[in-house]
Amino acid sequence: MKRKAFIEKTAKTLCELCAVVAIFAVCAITIYMFMKGAPALKEVGVFDLLFKTIWKPTASEPSYGIGFIILASVVGTTTALILGVPIGLLAAVYISEMAGKTTGNIVRTAIELLAAIPSVIYGLIGMMVLNPIMFRFEQIIFEDDSSHQFTGGANMLSAIIVLTIMILPTVISVSTSSLKAVSDTLRAASLALGATKEQTIFKAVIPAAKSGILTGVVLGTGRALGEAMAITMVAGGAVNIPLPFNSVRTLTTQIVSEMGYAQGTHRQVLFTVGLVLYIFIMIVNYALLRARKAGIDDVD
Amino acid sequence: MMSISRRKFIDCILRFLIYICSTFSVLLLLGIIGYVLIRGISEVNITFITSVTSVLKGTVGIAGNIVNTLLIILITMIIATPIGVGSAIYLNEYARPGRVVTAIEYATETLTGIPSIIFGLFGMTFFGEKLGLGYSLLTGSLTLILMVLPLITRNTQEALKTVPSSYRNGAIGLGSGKWHMIRTILLPSAMPGIITGAILAIGRIVGESAALLFTAGSAKLLPKGISGFLAKPFQSGGTLTIQMYLSATSEGDFETAFGIAVVLLIIVLAINLATKVLTKRFDVTRKE
């Protein structure tokens, strides 16, 4: 009997320990990101580091301004959301409101598979398909402009398109489930009042599902901010102001491209870039919590 | 008041846009799969899968990267699965709602949202530098454990929730201890869900690149003999995705890159199919 009690107790304690791993992991990551990212802020100066825009880490008089890098991440993510959310929402409307069983399943499966494709494959296709097209546009647009630095198509626009595609699965799947959760009585009531199917969808169903859709948008924001490999491959290799045809670096691609060889202060600054990204993600996480909570309140 | 013809016109446009957007997602997938297959399928043959790229022998192959990927999957899953399942059992069966549970669930949620490049930075500095494991498969695996943990915990929790409470009460009523009940009744009933979570985690590992670039490194040689395999976890090794990234960028070898892309796509599609089949079976057993 004693042995049994011992086993019971050990099992409970072990499970408890397993559960605490997640807390430890989050604490350790947070502490490490701050510990590694803070020194450069002190060394270079908060303003010089975050708001100056000249990035010359290996020059004899190095300059570590990551302003354009932060800006590129913000602009890239925002634009990808502006493009991706409407497309994703409309596709979700199709799956939830208009599709038959078979066609709905086909679209849903396609979206699941899109979500499962590794980001390096998106990057590779971006390099081989998107960049040459962009280069064509670039050649036409900047034909007579000698001040433009040609990028071979690896530019902000390519990055935005790849990001848009990569956030679609997240936006679509979360929006679909929140649209499906809207009660059928709402649809019936709207139709009975003489609204057309489209009016019902856009004036009744989507507003009712808005907090769920918002959750999808916030998740998509996190995905776009954090995506690293695919954009490293398509966005080019120079720090520039994030204009459509400029080669740009974002927070993530900056780390991927330079962490391999960076030394001293340069390396510390890259950790600060990581810290900035981490803080952005924490803000997104907080927003997510709020969006979820709003969703629960709606149901109540 | 809007005229009826104008209303009809707007409805028509909206409907058209909805069709365009959903067709776009399907075409996108077909386009990606088709393009990768066309460009890469001719690269994939027995030599490509079973040999290592060598200038001396004149071979191009990814056997080393396949072995590295498998080893990372193995090490990660051996550690992550028990922790994830144990954590889910604690949350669902032992814990009373309160601060601790909220903190654990919030931490799990946060881990899901952290981008892989951050995991990579943390793994590099903590496991690689602080614990002195350097660039090694072990460093990579330890990093990935933190990444896939939420996936396994969440899926196990979902599976445990679907086990009827009458099972629990019945076993306890017959005099079984709580752990005995969990081990003999709950875990077998929740097994399909646990396996689904594990397969999803494997899929995540196969596709992961940013978290491995600065933790597991990029070596591509095959380990020699049993001692070689035993020492491999402590040595640097690039997975398929890492090799593909390097082939497409610094090495400029697009043939190999597309070859690896084909292999990756096939693995990812197979994993998705497997989870689909499993989830379906799971649903059927629930209805009975």
pLDDT attached to residue A300 = 46
Distance from CA of B47 to the nearest CA of A (A): 22
pTM: 0.92
Nearest residue in chain A measured CA to CA from B104: A23
**Gap between the Cα atoms of A255 and A253, Å rounded:** 5
**CB atoms B7 and A196 under 8 Å:** yes
Q: What percent of chain A is modeled with pLDDT above 90?
A: 74
Domain ranges of chain A: 2-299
Residue type, B182: I
Q: What is the pLDDT of residues B10-68, one digit of tens each?
A: 999 999 999 999 999 999 999 999 999 999 999 898 888 888 887 777 778 899 999 99
| Candidates B93, B117, B265; nearest CB to A228 | B117
Which residue is it, tokens 């490194």? Answer: B217
**Residue A105 at interface with chain B, using a CB cutoff of 8 Å:** no
- Per-residue tokens: B152: 């396994």
Q: By C-alpha distance, which of A74, A63, A169 is closest to A119?
A: A169
Residue type, A120: V
Residue B63: phi and psi, rounded to 5, are -55, -40
Look at strands A63-64 and B52-54 and give their pairing.
Answer: unpaired
Q: Output the average pLDDT for chain A.
A: 92
- DSSP category for residue B29: H
**CB atoms A116 and B272 under 8 Å:** yes
**CB atoms A196 and B104 under 8 Å:** no
- Per-residue tokens: B26: 């399907």
pLDDT attached to residue A60 = 86
ipTM score here? Answer: 0.92
| Candidates B19, B93, B244; nearest CB to A120 | B244
Q: What is the pLDDT of residues B170-219, one digit of tens each?
A: 998 998 888 989 999 999 999 988 999 999 999 999 999 999 999 998 88
Tell whether the model's pLDDT for residue B287 goes beyond 80.
no
| Candidates B118, B203, B206; nearest CB to A274 | B118
Look at strands B52-54 and A55-56 and give their pairing.
Answer: unpaired
pLDDT attached to residue B177 = 86
**CB atoms A168 and B25 under 8 Å:** yes
**Gap between the Cα atoms of B281 and B167, Å rounded:** 20
- Per-residue tokens: A98: 């208009």
| Candidates B30, B87, B257; nearest CB to A21 | B87
- Per-residue tokens: B285: 């057993």
**Gap between the Cα atoms of A209 and B21, Å rounded:** 19
- Which CATH fold topology does B47-287 show? MetI-like fold (1.10.3720)
Q: How many CB pairs under 8 A join A and B?
A: 242
- Average pLDDT in the A202-225 region? 94
SS3 of residue B71 by DSSP: helix
* Chain B residues lying within 8 Å of A112, measured CB to CB: 272
Distance from CA of B167 to the nearest CA of A (A): 19
E strands, chain B, where? 52-54, 59-62
Residue A55: phi and psi, rounded to 5, are -110, 100
- Per-residue tokens: B36: 């990768």
Alpha helices per DSSP H over chain A = 2-44, 46-51, 67-93, 101-116, 119-125, 131-141, 156-180, 184-192, 197-199, 206-208, 210-226, 229-234, 251-258, 264-299
**Residue B178 at interface with chain A, using a CB cutoff of 8 Å:** yes
pLDDT attached to residue B285 = 52
| Candidates A107, A123, A129; nearest CB to B26 | A107
Show which of residues 145-174 on chain B sit within 8 Å of chain A, judged by CB atoms: 146, 149-150, 153
By CB neighbour count within 10 A (0-12 exposed, 13-18 middle, 19+ buried), where does A260 fall? Answer: exposed
Q: What is the pLDDT of residues A35-54, one digit of tens each?
A: 999 999 998 888 888 998 89
Please, are residues A68 and A240 in contact by the beta-carbon 8 Å criterion?
yes
**Gap between the Cα atoms of A164 and A154, Å rounded:** 16
- Per-residue tokens: A84: 């991706």
Looking at 1.10.3720.10, 1.10.10.10, 3.30.70.360, 1.10.4030.10, the CATH number of the domain A2-299 comes to 1.10.3720.10
Q: Output the average pLDDT for chain B.
A: 90
* Chain B residues lying within 8 Å of A225, measured CB to CB: 115
For residue A45, give Cα distances in angstroms to A31, A40, A267, A283. Answer: 21, 7, 15, 23
What spatial distance separates the first Cα and last Cα of chain A, rounded to whole Å?
Answer: 48
- Average pLDDT in the B129-133 region? 92
**Residue B258 at interface with chain A, using a CB cutoff of 8 Å:** yes
**Gap between the Cα atoms of B234 and A209, Å rounded:** 50
Q: What percent of chain B is modeled with pLDDT above 90?
A: 64
Please, are residues B152 and B85 in contact by the beta-carbon 8 Å criterion?
yes
Q: What is the pLDDT of residues B110-123, one digit of tens each?
A: 999 999 999 999 99
Which H helix or E strand runs over A64?
Answer: strand A63-64
Domain ranges of chain B: 1-40, 47-287
Please, are residues B133 and B123 in contact by the beta-carbon 8 Å criterion?
no
Please, are residues B73 and B205 in contact by the beta-carbon 8 Å criterion?
yes
Show which of residues 41-70 on chain B sit within 8 Å of chain A, judged by CB atoms: none
pLDDT attached to residue B221 = 84
**Residue B90 at interface with chain A, using a CB cutoff of 8 Å:** yes
**CB atoms B248 and A127 under 8 Å:** yes
* Chain A residues lying within 8 Å of B182, measured CB to CB: 11
Q: By C-alpha distance, which of B54, B238, B109 is closest to A281?
A: B109
* Chain B residues lying within 8 Å of A226, measured CB to CB: 114-118
- Average pLDDT in the B254-281 region? 90
Q: By C-alpha distance, which of A95, A275, A91, A101 is closest to A167?
A: A91
Distance from CA of A140 to the nearest CA of B (A): 26
For A152-179, b/e burial (b = at least 16 CB within 10 A) is: ebbbbbbbbbbbbbbbbbbbbbbbbbbb
DSSP string, A8-22: HHHHHHHHHHHHHHH
Q: By C-alpha distance, which of A277, A281, A272 is closest to A57?
A: A272
pLDDT attached to residue A79 = 97
Distance from CA of B226 to the nearest CA of A (A): 31
Tell whether the model's pLDDT for residue A215 goes beyond 60.
yes
- Average pLDDT in the B118-130 region? 95
